């Protein structure tokens, strides 16, 4: 078997988590249109047994990372540092972009970091369904001229377009090695973590502006019974005014968040779910080392 690790990096909101979900064929990472949706490292495990003669068995651990950006607080610093730290820990890097290199400093900064590592690099130009063939050709040309990338591919991850090509390119950098995980699991992240992420995703979808970025979710209760899972989740926000926005008039906003999250959690766990949610204020938690540790953003 060939096996190894592949890091997925890029600016916020370019489609890193969407690509990971498409590779695995199921959702393990939350996705929204809002930048900085992904905060933690998420490992997705892709296992494939060769069905044709000469085709290798392969297991690739794809590592979805937070978007690399200019930090505004300690949470942002953690997110960017954890993404950059993967560069030297993987067998290949997938760098996802969705615009021309000349359009902004974010991709230029990441490109400079990539120039300083010897790890093989795959460029994935995502959202080709939106950017059009002429724009794609221009983006392709700009990045090809840098001489940094071993492979350049175009995808529309949300539609699954050319995702198999990305997997094949990544597999080409894997070497003979062990099976790191059983072939029937797609992530090593525990169910409690995925549940908290689902709840946070619904908050991102239900709320606007800066409120969702100041929200953290902590699972205080997680009890599994024969046909029911009881979950108690605390939603932390940074301001009293934000608490009111999350709860909504007559509690309708929070009820909508809870209902939407419960339905997805039930599909994930395959059991009925009793979900209770509370909202608490913890001012400036994104700049608190203690809070970041308690919420699982630091060891």
DSSP 205-239: HH--TTGGGG-EEEEEEEEE-SSEEEEEEEEEES-
Domain match, 41 and 136 both: yes
The number of folded domains in the chain is 2
Domain match, 103 and 206 both: no
Domain match, 170 and 197 both: no
Domain match, 63 and 156 both: yes
**Is residue 186 in a domain?**
no
pLDDT of the residue at 18: 93
Domain match, 157 and 203 both: no
Confidence of residue 62 (pLDDT cuts 50, 70, 90): very high
The residue-averaged pLDDT of 158-178 equals 95
SS3 content of the chain, % helix, strand, coil (to 5): 40, 25, 35
Question: What percentage of the chain exceeds 90 in pLDDT?
Answer: 67
**Cα(159)–Cα(163) distance, rounded to whole angstroms?**
9
Confidence of residue 76 (pLDDT cuts 50, 70, 90): confident
Distances, alpha carbon 23 to alpha carbons 29, 140, 263, 293, in Å: 12, 22, 24, 30
**Is residue 62 in a domain?**
yes
Domain match, 133 and 212 both: no
Last residue of a domain, one of 146, 176, 206: 176
**Is residue 13 in a domain?**
yes
Domain match, 33 and 165 both: yes
pLDDT of the residue at 53: 75
The residue-averaged pLDDT of 37-58 equals 86
Domain match, 156 and 238 both: no
Q: Is 107 left (phi over 0), alpha (psi -120 to 50) or beta?
A: alpha
* Cα Rg of the chain (Å, integer): 20
**Is residue 14 in a domain?**
yes
Q: Which residue has the higher pLDDT, 69 or 119?
A: 119
Domain match, 33 and 155 both: yes
Q: Is 122 left (phi over 0), alpha (psi -120 to 50) or beta?
A: beta
Tokens of 54: 């000469």
Specify the CATH number for the domain of residue 151. Answer: 3.40.50.300
**Is residue 66 in a domain?**
yes
**Is residue 115 in a domain?**
yes
**Is residue 181 in a domain?**
no
Specify the CATH number for the domain of residue 218. Answer: 3.30.300.20
Confidence of residue 210 (pLDDT cuts 50, 70, 90): low
Domain match, 197 and 164 both: no
pLDDT of the residue at 21: 94
pLDDT of the residue at 139: 95
pLDDT of the residue at 212: 64
pLDDT of the residue at 106: 87
Tell me what the pLDDT averaged over the chain comes to.
91
Domain match, 61 and 103 both: yes
Q: Which residues form the domain of 249?
A: 191-294
Confidence of residue 299 (pLDDT cuts 50, 70, 90): low
pLDDT digits (tens, 9 = 90+) for 125-166: 999 999 989 999 999 999 999 999 999 999 999 999 999 999
**Is residue 121 in a domain?**
yes
Last residue of a domain, one of 127, 149, 176: 176
Confidence of residue 55 (pLDDT cuts 50, 70, 90): confident
pLDDT of the residue at 297: 79
Domain match, 232 and 288 both: yes
């Amino acid at each position: 078997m060939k096996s190894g690790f592949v890091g997925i990096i890029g600016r916020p909101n370019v489609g890193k988590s969407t690509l990971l979900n498409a590779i695995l064929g199921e959702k393990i990472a939350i996705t929204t249109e809002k930048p900085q949706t992904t905060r933690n490292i998420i490992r997705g495990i892709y296992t494939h047994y060769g069905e044709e003669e000469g085709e290798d068995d392969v297991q690739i651990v794809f590592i979805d990372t937070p978007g690399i950006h200019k930090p505004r607080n300690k949470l942002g610093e953690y997110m960017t540092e954890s993404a950059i730290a993967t560069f030297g820990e993987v067998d290949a890097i997938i760098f996802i972009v969705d615009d021309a290199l000349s359009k902004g400093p974010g991709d230029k900064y990441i490109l400079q970091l990539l120039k300083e590592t010897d790890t093989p690099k795959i460029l994935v130009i995502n959202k080709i369904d939106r950017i059009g063939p002429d724009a794609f050709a221009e983006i392709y040309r700009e990045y090809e001229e840098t001489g940094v990338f071993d492979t350049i591919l175009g995808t529309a991850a949300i539609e699954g377009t050319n995702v198999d090509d990305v997997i094949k390119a990544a597999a080409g950098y894997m070497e003979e090695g062990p099976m790191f995980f059983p072939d029937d699991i797609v992530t090593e992240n525990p169910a409690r973590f995925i549940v908290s992420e689902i709840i946070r995703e619904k908050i991102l979808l239900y709320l606007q502006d800066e409120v969702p970025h100041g929200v953290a979710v902590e699972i205080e209760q997680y009890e599994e019974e024969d046909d029911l899972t009881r979950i108690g989740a605390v939603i932390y926000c940074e301001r009293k005014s934000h608490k009111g926005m999350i709860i909504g008039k007559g509690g309708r906003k929070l009820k909508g968040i809870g209902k939407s999250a419960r339905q997805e959690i039930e599909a994930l766990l395959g059991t009925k779910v009793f979900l209770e949610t509370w909202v608490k204020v913890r001012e400036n938690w994104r700049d608190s080392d203690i809070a970041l540790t308690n919420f699982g953003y630091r060891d």
